[in-house]
A and B are shown apart, each in its own frame.
Chain A
Amino acid sequence: MIEVKEISKSFNDNEVLKSINVTMEEGKCNLIIGKSGAGKTVLLKCMVGLFEPTSGEILYDGRDFVKMTEKERKLIRLEMGMLFQGNALFDSMTVEENVRFPLDMFTSMSKKEKAERVNEVLERVNLKGAHKKFPSEISGGMMKRVGIARAIVQKPRYLFCDEPNSGLDPITSIVIDELIDELTKDLNIVTVINTHDMNSVMGIGDKVIYIHEGQVHWEGSGKEVMTTKDEQLNSFVFASKFWKQVKEDQQ
């Protein structure tokens, strides 16, 4: 479980996050949504340690990440996996080397064990036959899969995904969403997804956290989003004609 308690973050005089309190549980896809500039990415970056919060606590199964030394953080980081918006695959490495990198760096597994594990995760994300290709030689959807494979290769307890569907076509987006959801349930991990995609909210949103002006404005499930009376959330979620129509049809 991840507990975010009273997290605030300011850049100079600009307070981006204002006393955020959120709990994220195992086996669930926790979606953070909100307008551009609302503070979603800052929250995610605080959670993984790329930004230092101004105040507050981030508890990973009771362990306060904010107060930890860098040495202690390294241990928690071994339990984290992250899928970046731009994938962040290492250009100089092949798909196989990218996925194997955390194993090479942090485990004492034999070559054979590492190869087996890499094959296992690449099969898990439905990516076969791309082992020797470089990131520049594969499609956007394949890159996302490689990113997911690399994020889960060390069997993380916490998976973070920053805009996993950005730049993907609608069909590939659904495939990636389903893959993340399956992994979350199968591995019983805490998954935190930062997204703008309403298909994701409705499809895999076990818990949806709506951030508005640096504060948690609304929490609930993806299904509850459809029935909420919250005007602020409605104006965001049902901004598109398509979702507006879906809601009206349901009502």
Chain B
Amino acid sequence: MNFFYHLGRYFMTLGSLFSKPEKAGMYWKELFRQMSLIGVGSLGIISIMSLFIGAVTAVQFAYQLQGNFIPMWWIGLIVRDSLILELAPTLSALLLAGKVGSNISSELGTMRISEQIDAMKIMGVNTASYLIGPKVLASVVVMPLLIVFSVFFGIYGGLFAGVASGAYTSAEYIRGLQDPLRDADTIILFIKSVSFAFIITTISCYQGFYTTGGVVGVGKASTRAVVFSSIVVIIANFFIASLLL
């Protein structure tokens, strides 16, 4: 019963995002602030993670392919496709669930327990719309861009790792990257990115917005935001892959 209560309230909260803004300019301002926080603030960690994910993928496949008759240029192709189809969207989403999700949840949770949300409500602000709407929109716009960056950084990571270890040449790796890319792969990347961004932000906002129990409650809400959004991302990943591949 508790699950259905939260599910119902989650969808009702999403519904309230579609009300008319009190002042469009204020919503735009908040949207750009959130885009900067989520996008610029996460670029560093995404680039570091992606470089090493690309590198480790390349090194491990090079190890597997050694002594086989499969040409080494395949590694470029394998790294690229692995990053596009699975590694970049899923691992970036899990990382962002930890970084952005906990940040959003604790920010809203703190606003809730310090009565800042009540203060806005009394002023006449549609609090769900103003506090959640720009965050969701910002992440749906910015996270796919971060994930595209993640693919690029991962590909470069694979290049550096292979060339540095002498497993293959840069020409071989680039030959693999130039293999034709299926349109469906980029569509799946886009669908995953947008879906994961939506899942992470809405779950984290929901957890933060309805925080109870003081400072301890903020910590719990933040943990729940990360755990639930990570689980839902992994489940959604399976369904998207099953339906589209």
Taking Cβ atoms with an 8 Å cutoff, the residues of A that contact B are 48-50, 73-75, 77-78, 80, 82, 84-86, 88-91, 101-102, 104-106, 160
**Which residues of A lie under 8 Å from residue B125 when comparing CB positions?**
105
- Would you list the 7 A-B pairs with minimal beta carbon distance, nearest first? A77-B124, A88-B119, A88-B115, A74-B124, A84-B115, A82-B122, A88-B116
Select from chain A the residue with minimum beta-carbon distance to B21: A105
New contact pairs (13) apart from A49-B121, A104-B23, A105-B123, CB-CB < 8 Å: A50-B121, A50-B122, A74-B124, A77-B123, A80-B122, A84-B119, A86-B114, A88-B115, A91-B110, A91-B111, A105-B23, A105-B124, A105-B125
**Which residues of A lie under 8 Å from residue B116 when comparing CB positions?**
88-91
User: Which range contains the number of B residues in contact with the other chain?
Assistant: 10 to 19
On whether the beta carbons of A104 and B26 are closer than 8 Å, the reply is yes
**Which residues of A lie under 8 Å from residue B114 when comparing CB positions?**
86, 88, 91
Instruction: Please measure, in the bound complex, the distance between the C-alpha atom of A88 and the C-alpha atom of B121, giving whole angstroms.
Output: 12
**Which residues of B lie under 8 Å from residue A88 when comparing CB positions?**
114-116, 118-119
Within 8 A of A (CB), among B119-157: 119, 121-125
Nearest chain A CB to B200 CB, angstrom units? 21
Instruction: Please measure, in the bound complex, the distance between the C-alpha atom of A166 and the C-alpha atom of B137, giving whole angstroms.
Output: 39
Instruction: Please measure, in the bound complex, the distance between the C-alpha atom of A50 and the C-alpha atom of B112, giving whole angstroms.
Output: 13
Secondary structure of the B contact surface, majority rule: helix
Taking Cβ atoms with an 8 Å cutoff, the residues of B that contact A are 22-23, 25-26, 110-111, 114-116, 118-119, 121-125
**Which residues of B lie under 8 Å from residue A105 when comparing CB positions?**
22-23, 26, 123-125
On whether the beta carbons of B23 and A50 are closer than 8 Å, the reply is no
Instruction: Please measure, in the bound complex, the distance between the C-alpha atom of A185 and the C-alpha atom of B92, giving whole angstroms.
Output: 58
Q: Contact partner of A82 among B23, B26, B111, B119, CB < 8 A?
A: B119
**Which residues of A lie under 8 Å from residue B119 when comparing CB positions?**
82, 84, 88, 90
Instruction: Please measure, in the bound complex, the distance between the C-alpha atom of A67 and the C-alpha atom of B2, giving whole angstroms.
Output: 30
**Which residues of B lie under 8 Å from residue A86 when comparing CB positions?**
114-115
**Which residues of B lie under 8 Å from residue A80 when comparing CB positions?**
122-123
Nearest chain B CB to A87 CB, angstrom units? 8
Q: Contact partner of A78 among B26, B118, B124, CB < 8 A?
A: B124
Nearest chain A CB to B12 CB, angstrom units? 13
Instruction: Please measure, in the bound complex, the distance between the C-alpha atom of A104 and the C-alpha atom of B26, giving whole angstroms.
Output: 7
On whether the beta carbons of B122 and A106 are closer than 8 Å, the reply is no
A91-B110, A104-B23 given; A84·B118 CB < 8 A: yes
Select from chain A the residue with minimum beta-carbon distance to B19: A70
Instruction: Please measure, in the bound complex, the distance between the C-alpha atom of A75 and the C-alpha atom of B115, giving whole angstroms.
Output: 21
**Which residues of A lie under 8 Å from residue B115 when comparing CB positions?**
84-86, 88
Instruction: Please measure, in the bound complex, the distance between the C-alpha atom of A85 and the C-alpha atom of B115, giving whole angstroms.
Output: 9
